[in-house]
A and B are shown apart, each in its own frame.
Chain A
Amino acid sequence: MNVQGSAGEPARRTPRVLLFACRWCALIGADAAGRGRFPLPASFRVIPVECAAMIESDSVLRAFASGADGVGVLGCHLGGCRFNDANGVALKRMETLGDLLEAVGIGRRRLLLSFGTGHEGHQFAGVLRTFYAELEPLPPLSAWRGPLLNTPTFR
């Protein structure tokens, strides 16, 4: 949905957010937020994964390249991962990715890392709303407006 700026300014759209959420703490929180009917912006999408450790840095970058203004990596809290602390590995990887994002000008603020802070409905809603508040002042990352279907796969 586009938010009209004042006359002469380009229309600003609600930030697009792609969340990679683990099937445990993260998705349970997202689910609870829905059941609790917390009003949230409609411009986020969730890709479920088994564990945050499954999320490649590459996927995050592709998400940015495909039009996401913000990407979230959500997992269980440290010490609570059912895969033997695999989420700790994921967190380290994502923190390093944050450095890369800073270096290329995307910025660390566009990467949300939530490990165990979103497993209740009100917490997930809070985390997401805070992320949106961070993203709203930033310009849209991609000016790409055309359809992205039918592009060739690049791997």
Chain B
Amino acid sequence: MQGPFQDSPRPVDGLPVLVEGGGVAGITAALDLAAAGRRVHLVERSLVLGGQVLNLDKVYPTDSCAFCPLWTDIRRLRRDPAISVHLASRVIVEEASAEGTLATIETKPPPIAPERCILCGRCAESCPLHAARPLGEHVYPPSFFMDETLCNRCGRCIGACPTAAIDLERNEERVSLKVAAVIRASGFREAELSPLPEFGHGTHPDIMTSLEFEAWTAEAGRNEGRITRKSDGGKPGNIAFIQCSGARDDRLLPWCSAVCCMHALKQASWVKRREPGVDCWIFYTDLRTVGRDYYAYSLRAVEGAGVRLVRGRPGLVHPLPGGGIALKFEDTMTQKREIRRFDMVVLNGNLRPSVGDGYPADAALGQDACGFAAEPADAASSAFQGSAAAMRILTCDGGGPCRA
């Protein structure tokens, strides 16, 4: 129940705001806060700003490149003197009080310092284990990084680097800050599908999660946009996209991950665009196309490009001894049961918030959370939720919730 609003002064020299998460929601919140005169500390646990959207090949419904609009915002953010970016960092302690929150940020400085890296690649050339490599195609600013799971600390790269950018002995750093508030924008990650063995994840290289498939078929990826089987490089005759694998399932994730239906339609549309001969099947329960232009997009995919829709969640995904993958499913609209062979299977649905065990039991949206951290959300929703979270900080001086 809401009470009348408390009038509060506009915080001109207020405490900085901490934004946890450097994806679309966090970046939008940070930019809006800085534009309105607040200082921001953006804490991102990876070495890259951009979150999950940066790794996507294309976005719906515009079918444009995912990275471009985000990349522009990241460059604006990096230039903004009011925003301090903490990469490879996480918030380890938070103590809220009436005067604000004392937050401790722990940073693991990467062995290759991005501010000194000139992309020459001599570290990669000198590394016998291929542990040093570029951060990624669309990362801004571009840099090399050390994959510490592969590095054996032989130190050859240190001498090879012309700018003395490499130090394998960097220690963790901690900084404590008094902040007005914390905005949680930590986004999502994929949940392990092992509790659901019927989907066969891990039993065949061509049974992939949706993000694995996205990386595999991305124009910026190893396969350069080609649609081929991971197992043997051949062209697939058909691909099955299984919706709600892991989602809307009390055994794993009891919620709907919101973005997967459109994501599958997008992936299938692009497969058809690049290889019209590949038969794409989407196995769904409810085909959720609620956003702007989403339904029209689905019509183009189905009626235009010939993507097939089957209502039913396959009960078994199993590699076949002779090659290929068997799918056992029921088309609930015809009540026919079938076992069909597919070349590739994409499992869509197992998205969970990055931080924490799930969503709180009560339905209220956390005041300080935005994007997938608050509720499964697509990129556009994450963006305006980030703006809204910024606004809620701007109208209350870091104290309690601004609205019930």
Contacts and interface: CB of A to CB of B under 8 A. Distances in A.
B219 A120 contact: yes
A123 B320 CA distance: 36
B64 A80 contact: yes
Contacts of B68: 24-25, 28, 76, 80, 82, 119
Nearest to B57: A120
Contacts of A25: 65, 68
B306 interface: no
Interface in A18-62: 24-25, 28, 32, 35
A139 interface: no
Contacts of A120: 137, 219-220, 224-225
Contacts, number: 34
Nearest to B220: A120
A127 to B, nearest CB: 13
A80 B142 contact: no
Contacts of B72: 82
A123 B219 contact: yes
Interface residues of B, number: 15
Interface in A52-91: 76-77, 79-80, 82
Given A120-B219, A120-B224, A122-B224, A35 B64 contact: no
Contacts of B62: 79-80
Contacts of B220: 120
Contacts of A28: 68
Contacts of A82: 68-69, 72
A82 B73 CA distance: 13
Contacts of B196: none
A24 B137 CA distance: 15
Interface string A73-112: 0001101101000000000000000000000000000000
Interface in B56-114: 62-65, 68-69, 72
Contacts of B137: 32, 120-121
A119 B134 CA distance: 18
B164 interface: no
Given A35-B142, A120-B224, A80 B65 contact: yes
B129 interface: no
A79 B58 CA distance: 12
Interface string B214-248: 00000110001100000000000000000000000
Given A120-B224, A122-B224, A77 B64 contact: yes
27 contacts: A24-B68, A25-B68, A28-B68, A32-B137, A35-B119, A35-B134, A35-B142, A76-B68, A77-B64, A79-B62, A79-B63, A79-B64, A80-B62, A80-B63, A80-B64, A80-B65, A80-B68, A82-B68, A82-B72, A119-B65, A119-B219, A120-B220, A120-B224, A120-B225, A121-B137, A122-B224, A123-B224
Given A79-B62, A82-B72, 16 more contacts: A24-B68, A25-B65, A28-B68, A32-B137, A35-B119, A35-B142, A77-B64, A79-B63, A80-B62, A80-B68, A82-B69, A119-B219, A120-B220, A120-B225, A121-B137, A123-B224
Interface of A: 24-25, 28, 32, 35, 76-77, 79-80, 82, 119-123
Interface of B: 62-65, 68-69, 72, 119, 134, 137, 142, 219-220, 224-225
